Amino acid sequence: MTEQIRVAVAGAGGRMGKEVVKMVLEDPQLRLVAAVNLSDEGMDAGTLVGLPACGVTLSNDLELALVEGKPQVLVDFTTPQSAYSNTVVAIKQGVRPVIGTTGFTPEQIEDLDKQCQERGIGGLIAPNFSIGAILMMKFAAQAAKYFPHLEIIEYHGDQKLDAPSGTAVKTAELIAMNREELRQGNPLEEETIDGSRGGYYNGFRIHSVRLPGIFAQQEVIFGGFGQTLKIRHDSYERAGYMPGVNLAIKKVMEYEGLIYGFEHFVD
């Protein structure tokens, strides 16, 4: 039998974190060895997610949990304010980070890549682990070769902390690789309400919608002479991200250095 991959989860009490804990406990190839959360200290991680007790209790000290649990991989779905420091702590302990939290700067990603390479471990920062969302990004990047006029609209609940979303930023970056900067719209246009045209990126616009009742959607709208093209992805529940997280945990064991973007795992 293949040796199990030892996994720690940061943000285990959060909505995404609970899904990760449940997924790890239900996969015989994975073994949960640490669960970290600011609250619920001492609670069994299995009980937390509605499964039988697993013997792993929640800790509020990430570094101590990594030292005691000796995981090979840390999955982090926390907040932009803590994800960077959590990743640094993990790499310091030789633990491979799989980060689903967004908000990292290019400089931080470059620094973390250097740290991973120095320790000889792999790492991943992925704005989105959904296979469908990755395909949406790839299709949009391909379409931009033929439809250079476009706008991105992303929708999330009103509790999301960053705007635009990491998925929208990653989509824009992939599009920019296939499209020369082209400033769209009428050159004489004027915003009578500041920000009404959305955020500017490489000549096109990104719009962020934040409303209660929305989970996660994104569409890329392309305009051409006499036609439009819309590429859209809708997520309805957090469990839909877990096949991607599962794959990432296993793939991150196979390489060195930090990879930015789950699309590198999708052909």
Asked if 57 contacts 42 with a C-beta cutoff of 8 angstroms, the reply is yes
Catalytically annotated residue among 70, 138, 149, 160: 160
Asked if 156 contacts 209 with a C-beta cutoff of 8 angstroms, the reply is yes
250 labelled catalytic? no
- Angle subtended by helix axes 166-177 and 131-143, to nearest 10: 30
Quick one: which of 84, 34, 80 has its CA closest to 60? 34
Do strands 122-125 and 257-260 pair parallel, antiparallel, or not at all (unpaired)?
parallel
CA 206/CA 246 separation, integer angstroms = 30
Q: Which residues contact 230 (CB under 8 A, 6 or more apart)?
A: 219, 220, 221, 222
CA 212/CA 53 separation, integer angstroms = 34
Catalytically annotated residue among 22, 156, 170, 207: 156
160 labelled catalytic? yes
Phi and psi, residue 17, nearest 5°:
-60, -40
Annotated catalytic residues are 156, 160
